A and B are shown apart, each in its own frame.
Chain A
Amino acid sequence: MVTRKEKGQGLTEFALVLPILLLLLLLGIDPFFKAVNIALGKYYTFQAAREASIFLADGTHSCDSWVRGHVSQPTLLMGTAWTLTVTPCPSNPSWSQVSGSTVTATFDWTQSTVWWRGPWTGRMITSDVFQ
C-alpha cells in the first residue's frame, strides 16, 4: 500500500533528474549546429568554386557577380554573419580565367551559441580548377 508520503515520489525524482538530462541535451545543441554549418559551408564553397571554374566572360557579368548569382543564398543555423570569398574571381567584367589554375572558395561564418560561450566561428575551403 502506497502511503501518502510516497505519493508523488516518482514525480519528484523525475523533477530532479529532468534538469540534468535537459542540460546534457541542450549542451549538445551548439556542437550539432556547428556540424550542420560545416556541412553547409562545404556545400557553398563547393558550389562557388565550381561556378567560378566554368565562368565565361561575356563582357557583362564579372566572375564575382556570376558566382554570387549562381550560389544559393547561404543559410546557417544560428548564423549571425558570413562571407564568401572566391579567389581569383574579381568583379572586373573584363577578367577571364587561366585554364588549369586553381580557384579557391572560402566561406567564413559566425554563429551565436545557446549554451556555450560564444560566438563561434567556422571556415570551410574548397579548391577547384578553372576550365
Chain B
Amino acid sequence: MNALKKAKAFLLRREGEQGQVLLILAFGMVFLAALVGLMIDVGIYTTNNIIAHNNAAVGCVTAAEAYRRGGSATIAFANILQQNGMLPQTYSPNQGTGLGLTRGLENQGDGSWRAAVTWQQPTGFLGIVGIRDMTIRGRARCVGRDSGGLAPIAVRQSAVEDSLYGIPPEEYSILGRDPHWDLADVESGTNFRGAVFVHMWCIPSGDPNCPNIRYFYPLTEAPPSAQTQKRLVEDCFKGINCSIWPPVSERLPIVSGTSDNQLCHAFQAGGWEVGDKIVVIVFDGTVYKPAPGYGNWENVAVVGYAVYEITRFEPNPRNCNNVIARLASDRIYDSLDDIPADVILLRSREISWDYGGPIPW
C-alpha cells in the first residue's frame, strides 16, 4: 500500500518535473540502441571476415590444384567460390597486386598463389550514424603440390641403401628395366618394371600369395580390366585419383603386361620433368610370384618410402624407356608424417600471406 502511494505521488508531481522519465528513456534508448547496434554490426563484420577468409583460402588452394593438374586456375577459383555462395563481383576483376591484392587471384610466379575477396557489407544499426556499409575482406596465400603425392613406383631397398652409403652408381633407373641396374633382381620378378598398383592391396598383408585383393575407390572393377589398370597408373603419375598411402608391410601388385616405353610416356604425361622430386615406395627386393592356385598378382612388400630426384630420361626425352633418378632423401621414411614438407610438398595448402622464404614450404 505504501508503494502504491509513493507511485501515485510520483505520478502527480509538479508539472515541471513531469516528462523527466520520458527524457531519460529517450536518451537511454538511443544509447542502448547504439550499443546493441554496434554489437550486432561488429558481429556481422567479424562473421563475414571469417567467411571471406575461408572462401579466399578454399579458392586459392582449389586454383593452385587446378593449375597443377593443367587446368584453368581462374575458372576453378570462380567455380568453387560460386558454389560457396560468393557473388562474382566479390572476387573479380583483380584489384591490387602481390601483398596489396584485395580482390581476385594472382599467380606469384614462385610456386605460390594469392587470392582475395572483397565486398561492401551493408551495416545494420550503424547506418543511423551515417555508416551505411563496411568493407569485408578475406585473403589467403597458398602453394600447390609440387608432385603427385606418392608415385606408383617401387624401388628396391638395397638400391636405396647403396645410395645412402654412397655406393655407385649414383643414378639409376627407377622406372623401366635397365640392363645396368636390374630393379627386380629376382628370378620371379621378370615382369617387374618398377611400377606398382596403389589402388589394390593384398590382404592379409602377411600372406605373400596375395589371396585376396582389397580395392580402393575410385577403382570399382574387381578385378580391373587391363584398360582400367593402365588408366589408374597414368592417373597416379599425374597425381590424380591417387590419394592412397599404402603403409609399411602392405603388399602391392606390380604392373605387368606393359612396356618400358609405355610406362615412361605415362610418367612424362604426368608432367614430370628433370629436376623434379618424387616420393617412391621402397620394397624389400623380392617380387613375389604367388603359387598358381592363387592367381597371378605378383607383388612386392612395402618397407618404406624415399625421395628421388629425376636426372634424365633414357635414351632420350622424346622416346624414353627409363626414368633415371638419384636418391634425394637421407634415409628411408617409415610414414608420410616422417617426410619433411621442405623435402617434398605432398599437399596443396595455405601459407602465411607475407611469407618471404623459399617456396615450396
A residues neighboring B (CB under 8 Å): 5-6, 9, 12-14, 16-17, 20-21, 24-25, 28, 31-32, 35-36, 38-39, 42-43, 46, 49-50, 53-60, 92, 94-100, 102, 125-131
The size class of the interface chain B forms with chain A is 35 or more
Q: How many Å from the CB of B308 to the closest CB on chain A?
A: 20
Residues of A within 8 A of B215 (CB): 94
- With A13-B24, A96-B217, A99-B239 known as contacts, the answer to whether A54 contacts B349 (CB < 8 A) is yes
Q: B27's closest neighbor in chain A, by CB?
A: A17
Binary contact track B1-35/A, C-beta < 8 Å → 1, others 0? 00000100110010001001100110011001101
- Which one of B46, B62, B243, B347 contacts A96 once the chains associate, using CB atoms below 8 Å? B243
Q: List 13 A-B contacts (CB under 8 A).
A: A9-B17, A14-B24, A21-B32, A36-B47, A49-B58, A50-B57, A50-B58, A56-B244, A58-B336, A97-B243, A100-B65, A126-B54, A129-B65
Residue in A21, A43, A58, A131 whose beta carbon sits within 8 Å of that of B50 in the complex? A43
**Which B residues lie within 8 Å of A46 (CB)?**
54, 57-58
Min CB gap B224→A, angstroms: 14
CA distance A49 to B62 in the complex (A): 12
A59 near B247 with CB under 8 A, answer yes
**Cβ B216 vs Cβ A16 within 8 A:** no
Interface string of B298-341 (1 = CB under 8 A from A): 00000000000000000000000000000000000000100000
Complex Cα–Cα for A130 and B51 (A): 20
Give the A-binding residues of B (Cβ under 8 A).
Answer: 6, 9-10, 13, 17, 20-21, 24-25, 28-29, 32-33, 35-36, 39-40, 43-44, 46-47, 50-51, 54, 57-58, 61-62, 65-66, 69, 71, 76, 80, 83-85, 145, 149, 199, 201, 214-218, 235, 239-247, 250, 336, 347-349
User: What residues on B are CB-neighbors of A131 within 8 Å?
Assistant: 65, 145, 243, 347-348
Contacts of A21 in B (CB 8 A): 28-29, 32
Q: Is the CB of B51 within 8 A of A32?
A: no
C-alpha spacing A36/B76, complex, angstroms: 30
In the complex the two chains form, is B58's CB within 8 Å of A127's CB? yes
Given A60-B247, A99-B69, A100-B69, A24-B33 contact (CB < 8 Å)? yes
